[in-house]
Structure 1
Amino acid sequence: MGILTEDMKRVVDEQRLGFVATVCPDGTPNLSPKGTTAVWDDDHIVFADIRSPATVSNLRRNPSTEINVVDPMVRKGYRFKGVASVLTEGALFERILDFYRAERNLDDSRIKIRSFVLVKIEEALPVVSPAYDLGLSEEQVREKMQRYFDSLPRNIPTTRREET
């Protein structure tokens, strides 16, 4: 058995959005959301480099990283610390690409995948909202968050920009 528990795998598989932290050349942090975050095996998490030039550049220089995956409805999740490998070709790259095609319906003919980042997880810890310190149950937190999201305006304009 590896470091990733069944619950950790469940959260990653359900949420798919991981926030990946790296260190820039000047020592400042870089935090970037990755909507392709997936469990590769009992000890690895993977994500696709679709538009991640700063993240990948930082990981090539310093492969230490942390990925946070949190369910926003229950405000619980996990933080995964590990060491990243950037894959641009080879048998493992092809196996990961096949996984994304089959499991995530990723059509790489429409999306340019530059590489995959495979992170060997060395430490995995829970992330739990302080709301639980107040004695709230998971269902109460979920209901509170549902009310919050339901109260948000639905006509918020969106913008799209390149990662820097």
Structure 2
Amino acid sequence: MKTIDDDMRLIVETARLSFVATMCPDGSPNLSPKGSMRVYDDEHIAFMDIASPNTVGNLERDPRIEINSIDVFRRRGYRFKGTAEFRESGDPVYEWLHAWLLDLNGPGYPANRVILVHVERALPILSPAYTFGDADEGDLRQAWAHTYLADLDEG
């Protein structure tokens, strides 16, 4: 069954930064940004353990995970819930993501192992501007791009 559709793929790719929630040993949440998030296939999302000791430790104890990918310009995204497993060097998933990571960042970029998430549920996340403001995605995208660029110019 196809859990991840083309729009979800687009959001994950354009978000450039996704956030992963795991559970700490004391039951408190751990939220960690991930810049290597990629859709692997219709049921799996993968990211690289580059410098993620807390995320990895939490997933070794409890493989439940939530990923949030938001396109800040479109003001929408998805939350993906599922279970994680680890893939090491030599595994096809690892080699696929590692090649992408090296193409993006250059040789020698750290890549410890891949976390492959079997997505069991995917739900949309929408800005209230869509719900209450009857917003148009194109207008929102243009306005927020302008806002972010203005913030850069002022900084």
Give the CA RMSD over aligned residues: 1.9
Aligned to 2:50: 50
Matched, 1:84 2:113: no
* Contact 2:22/2:65 (<8 A) preserved: yes
Post-superposition Cα deviations, 1:14-61, rounded to whole Å, max 9, x if no partner, equal 334210000111111111111000011110000000000000000111
CA distance in 2, matches of 1:64, 1:26: 15
* Contact 2:47/2:97 (<8 A) preserved: no
Distance 1:153 1:39, change over 3 A: closer
Matched, 1:145 2:123: no
Post-superposition Cα deviations, 1:87-119, rounded to whole Å, max 9, x if no partner, equal 235x53xx1233134444156851221111000
Mapping 1:1-164, distance limit 5 Å: 1-89=1-89, 91-92=90-91, 95-104=92-101, 105=103, 109-132=107-130, 133-154=132-153, 156=155
* Contact 1:66/1:82 (<8 A) preserved: yes
CA distance in 1, matches of 2:134, 2:123: 21
CA distance in 1, matches of 2:55, 2:154: 31
CA distance in 1, matches of 2:149, 2:51: 31
CA distance in 1, matches of 2:106, 2:55: 20
> Normalising by structure 2, what TM-score?
0.89
SS at match of 2:144: helix
CA distance in 1, matches of 2:114, 2:88: 7
Aligned to 1:159: none
Identity %: 41
* Contact 1:9/1:39 (<8 A) preserved: yes
SS at match of 1:134: coil
Unaligned runs of 5+ in 2: none
Unaligned runs of 5+ in 1: 157-164
CA distance in 2, matches of 1:56, 1:84: 10
- Decide which moves more: 104-113 or 9-18: 104-113
* Contact 2:20/2:65 (<8 A) preserved: yes
Work out the number of aligned pairs and report it. Answer: 153
> Normalising by structure 1, what TM-score?
0.84
Relative to its length, the structure with more helix (as a share) is: 2
